[in-house]
Amino acid sequence: MSRLIDELRKLPGVGAKTAQRFAFYILRSPECDAEALSNAIRALKAQLRLCSVCNNVTDVDPCIYCSSPTRSHRTVCVVSEPTDIAAVEKTRSYNGVFHVLHGTLSPLNGIGPDQLRTSNLLNRLSDLDEIILALSPTVEGEATSHYLATELHHASADHPLRVTRIATGIPAGADIEYADEVTMSRAMDGRREV
Amino acid sequence: MSRLIDELRKLPGVGAKTAQRFAFYILRSPECDAEALSNAIRALKAQLRLCSVCNNVTDVDPCIYCSSPTRSHRTVCVVSEPTDIAAVEKTRSYNGVFHVLHGTLSPLNGIGPDQLRTSNLLNRLSDLDEIILALSPTVEGEATSHYLATELHHASADHPLRVTRIATGIPAGADIEYADEVTMSRAMDGRREV
């Protein structure tokens, strides 16, 4: 029992009390439920892997995006983490594929260019029309975008490849009166014809 | 005394208690201070007016922006309220002039196109190269931007006038994982070459 509690406590946001509640719940539940949970956890690690094309977490290789016949495979949206794919997908307006870096440049945390998973992206540049850098406008995201833009332009010197970045600006529904100066400055720089 | 308290209570965020504290403070302060406050309030209303060129609140007409020799008078940034000028000015990167609408379209509050101060903008279109709509990406701001874009294109049909809008997107420093779908969608639409 205490071994299970110790293991459950490692989950994010779960303390001793919650772990104990989980453990007692599992104890009281039918054996088949406990077995199913145990198997699901084992299966997760056994079956999930990274897509060989885009590095997304997947149970089939290539992943559902990379193997979709209805998506455009000539536009790639580069994101930092697999969870960021959901942020782009919920717009319901993007129809290209993805590429997951599994991190952003952060020298203090030991993440340099070599730790980013970029090689399988650089290898397929000749099949692409546009790469959209959808990295957060944080310090790490900015640094990574600059680094990738340089690399991509360098690697695609012989054919036309559009490299774009998602817009930094005032979030929808917000008031410009309360915008910080960096955001406001970027919103002015990024103005578009209407 | 109670007349002063009643008047002070009309200030935003000031209730009976605070108004009383203000009144007693004025009562205890030297006569010259009370006189100065009284005169400052009277002078404010007597001296402040709207700039005849841009509708900004000013004590000289035209205002400091409209009369500045170092600013470009061929680019106009349209804002909703005089306080929004500060939001644009703190970017330190804008060198044009302004135009204040004194409101945004809001039919429910009785603000239609006729309530917006646009006539002195429409009258000087032939002297302008670009109009930047710096309205908040709220429902009212969006409606006002659409209305103005249409009006401006219509009124400037005979000469080339750029009409642009500031970018909606992820605010600087924010994580795309937490972006709402409208903002994310706009950030994707507004992507720029890097």
Encode pLDDT of A63-116 as tens digits: 999 999 999 999 999 999 999 999 999 999 999 999 999 999 998 888 899 999
Which residue out of A79, A131, A188 would a mutagenesis test of the B interface target, given it has the greatest number of B Cβ atoms within 10 Å? A188
Of B165, B173, B188, the CB nearest to A138: B173
Distance between B145 CA and the closest CA of chain A, angstroms:
9
pLDDT for residue A43: 81
Beta-carbon separation of B191 and A79 below 8 A = no
pLDDT for residue A32: 87
pLDDT at residue B45 greater than cutoff 90: no
Beta-carbon separation of B191 and A88 below 8 A = no
pLDDT for residue B166: 95
- Rounded to an integer, the average pLDDT of A152-167 is 90
pLDDT at residue B145 greater than cutoff 90: yes
Single out the residue of A173, A186, A176 nearest to residue B84, CA to CA: A176
- Rounded to an integer, the average pLDDT of B89-99 is 93
d(CA A38, CA A25): 14
Taken in order of first residue, the domains within chain A and their CATH numbers are 2-47 (1.10.8.420), 57-189 (3.40.1360.10)
* CA distances from residue B146 to A135, A182, B30, B113 in whole angstroms, order as listed: 29, 25, 54, 12
**What is the rounded average pLDDT for all residues in chain A?**
91
pLDDT at residue B68 greater than cutoff 90: yes
pLDDT tier at A172 (50, 70, 90 boundaries)? very high
Q: What is the share, in percent, of chain A residues with pLDDT greater than 70?
A: 100
B92 contact residues in A (CB cutoff 8 A): 181, 185
pTM of the model: 0.77
pLDDT at residue A121 greater than cutoff 90: yes
At position B40, the amino acid (one-letter code) is A
Beta-carbon separation of B170 and A168 below 8 A = yes
pLDDT digits (tens, 9 = 90+) for B163-183: 999 999 999 999 998 899 999
- Rounded to an integer, the average pLDDT of A136-144 is 93
pLDDT for residue B61: 87
Which chain A residue lies closest to B140 (C-alpha atoms)?
A173
Of B166, B188, B189, the CB nearest to A170: B166
Helices (H), chain A: 2-8, 16-28, 31-47, 82-89, 119-122, 139-155, 181-189
- Rounded to an integer, the average pLDDT of B136-159 is 92
pLDDT at residue A45 greater than cutoff 90: no
* CA distances from residue B38 to B6, B10, B14, B32, B35 in whole angstroms, order as listed: 16, 16, 18, 10, 5
d(CA B122, CA B114): 13
d(CA B1, CA B24): 9
A169 contact residues in B (CB cutoff 8 A): 166-171, 186-187, 190
- Which ipTM value was assigned to this complex? 0.75
Q: What is the share, in percent, of chain B residues with pLDDT greater than 90?
A: 62
Which chain A residue lies closest to B130 (C-alpha atoms)?
A193
d(CA A144, CA A110): 14
pLDDT tier at A31 (50, 70, 90 boundaries)? confident
Of B172, B181, B192, the CB nearest to A183: B172
Q: Which two tokens stand for residue A35?
A: 């077995």
Beta-carbon separation of B185 and A91 below 8 A = yes
pLDDT for residue A77: 96
Q: Which two tokens stand for residue A21?
A: 């509640």
Of A87, A92, A164, the CB nearest to B191: A164
